[in-house]
Structure 1
């Protein structure tokens, strides 16, 4: 049983604190047996205040860290790490119990704690975008990448704010036990199964308007016709409005032009098909309206920095983590079908905006 200790440092971010117990605690093997033993601890075992007006009672004190295979530090408003760049005595004593070689994970502003402990010096890491400036000021030795959802640097992994912790913990499950297990956990938690770490954080962008108002019905219609060569005139005609009016409303509701939005949706559909089907790259491209394999390679590389077959090998894992070896021979230089099972590191930034 892989032992996970979640270290709650007050005032802990309550949402962050629940992520690892929920996601890792939901992971089961094919027989239904749990794959992780998750315990929440505090430096002294006492209740920990949260930033949301309530306290949590941990199961253990810091001694749980000494026997952990993975240590998770959720977001915190601890003044030492967040404001002065140092750990408090109890925090430092607790982290000193972590064995060398233990995998260490932070969620959101938990990265401040890892940085204050010197665990991130010289390494890539991320945290909540809104705290990036403070982080850079306090910890200049860290290679901060605030445009990432999460960064996997082997034995040290960090996530961006709040819900990005879900993505990171699902990535941990996928890295440890393969996509089949991670997808079951995602379904159980009713969250998206995979957002790559290189996807940009959504910083100060408006949510698209939904429902039956505005351009919502046309966007829904477009999603059902992505394989077709949709034009701006087609979209405006469906919305029964002029091209100029449609474009203005569309940008106001989504924060993107119709062309940008269509390209993003086509890439998202392609990623889904690459992850969940054995369709060739050519067929995936056709199903998403991206023309051929060359068009898909161009668009996918711009979003996640990977060619289609490399993306498929990285995100379609077998239960034993060896990769499914579905090289499709499309000639992009990555389809050798070796399936070497190496976990992908943080992907380049550049998600469609």
Structure 2
């Protein structure tokens, strides 16, 4: 992935004090020192093979769609395993997007918190159940191992590396030079599109469709169960079996999703949106959006609407 591959060089080599050379030297290697294809319409030729890894203080594994058995079996191919074996003990390991699959296949994430692109959550968890995966955050810093979500969250992680290594002053200069935020609010959750459930005919789906038309109204658990023609106990069990959530959790997520739509596509005030989606008050909506998205309503609106 050309963007993710270029991110560390662009961000880290922009870090320097006025009049001084860059604080990082970024070098790129391939498994055999030869050119590689990209997801774009060009190939990349580099000057280094895997021997470069033995001298690195930090190793960044960028995103790739071509991960072979790493992506299908959770296993490193022999050539990649041999290359990673050259990395010195104590070297800081970093991944961007699906690069986390490589770190996990190498056993570097076992029992540790990590993240990857939210689209690959299910695949990652099935291959690496011992990893403490959090797909909602932009990046995870676990000391000597750091992982990030997809695409632009690699920028967030590289900015974090600069801040951690050299302080906020240097990081802020990099942010101005690269025209990126020095720190981005929230996490990946604000970028995940929640699908509207298929009304269907069976189970709790018709009740969910009914509730979506009435999000602005008080919806008690008993009301939902009566609409479904079930006891509260049966409805709660069926609901969790079908959605993986309790009715209360599902309602909050759907109200948050509707609030996101209105923040992006309307000029309604935060107070009005809170009433429209069933949160009642702006304070309640702020709390729920911070819990589900990690960001305040006003910050979300600025991010996704911008200015005319």
Look up the match of 1:118.
Answer: 107
In structure 2, C-alpha distance between the alignment counterparts of 1:73 and 1:125, rounded to whole Å? 14
Displacement of 1:261 in angstroms is: 10
Unaligned runs of 5+ in 2: 195-257, 275-281, 298-308
Structure number with bigger Rg: 2
Asked if structure 2 preserves the Cα contact closer than 8 Å seen for 1:47 and 1:55, the reply is: yes
Contact persistence 1:41–1:61 (CA under 8 A): yes
Using the alignment, how far apart are the partners of 1:303 and 1:200 within structure 2?
10
Deviation of 1:203 after TM superposition, in Å, equals 1.1
The C-alpha deviation readout for 1:208-240, integer Å capped at 9, x for no partner, is xxxxxxxxxxxxxxxxxxxxxxxxxxxxxxxxx
> Is 2:273 aligned against 1:259?
no
With over 3 angstroms needed to count, the CA separation of the structure-2 counterparts of 1:32 and 1:300, relative to structure 1, is farther
2:33 is the alignment partner of 1:22: no
SS class of match (1:181): helix
The equivalent position to 2:130 in structure 1, one of 124, 134, 141, is 141
TM-score for both structures, normalised by structure 1: 0.58
Residue 62 in structure 1 maps to residue 79 in structure 2: no
8 A contact 2:149–2:188 mirrored in 1: no
Q: How many residues align?
A: 225
* 1:97 corresponding residue in structure 2: 86
The correspondence of residues 164-179 of structure 1 with structure 2, limited to 5 A, is 164-179=153-168
Q: Is the 8 A contact 1:19 1:166 kept in 2?
A: yes
CA distance in structure 2 between the aligned counterparts of 1:98 and 1:197, rounded to whole angstroms? 33
Alignment counterpart, residue 71 of structure 1, candidates 59, 75, 87: 59
Which structure's residues are more often helix, by fraction?
Answer: 2
Deviation at 1:255, TM superposition (A): 8.0
Q: Cα 1:98–1:301, aligned 2, differ >3 Å: closer, same or farther?
A: farther
Match of 2:41 in 1: 53
What is the aligned partner in structure 2 of residue 34 from structure 1?
A: 22
* Normalised TM-score (structure 2): 0.66
Question: Could you say which residue in structure 2 is the equivalent of 1:161?
Answer: 150
Does residue 133 of structure 2 align to residue 189 of structure 1? no
Which consecutive unaligned segments of at least 5 residues does structure 1 have? 1-12, 206-246, 264-289, 305-347
Counterparts of 2:146 and 2:287, CA distance in 1: 24
Moved more, 50-59 or 111-120: 50-59
Q: Is the 1:127–1:160 contact (alpha carbons within 8 Å) kept by the matching residues of 2? A: yes
The list of structure 1 runs, each at least 4 consecutive aligned residues, that deviate by more than 4 angstroms after superposition, is 196-199, 260-263, 298-302
Summarize the Cα distance change of 1:93–1:180 in structure 2 as closer, same or farther, 3 Å threshold. same
Q: Is the 1:150–1:197 contact (alpha carbons within 8 Å) kept by the matching residues of 2? A: no
Q: 8 Å contact 2:113–2:134 — kept in the other structure? A: yes
Report the alpha carbon displacement of residue 43 of structure 1 after superposing the two structures with TM: 1.2
Task: Name the stretch that deviates more: 81-90 or 142-151.
Answer: 81-90
Asked whether the 8 Å contact 1:92–1:117 carries over to 2, the reply is yes
Q: Is the 8 A contact 2:190 2:293 kept in 1?
A: no
Cα gap change, 1:68 to 1:195, in 2 (>3 Å): same
Q: Secondary structure at the match of 1:81?
A: helix
Kept in 1, the 8 Å contact 2:186–2:295? The answer is: no
For the 8 Å contact 2:185–2:295, the answer to whether it is kept is no
Aligned to 2:121: 132
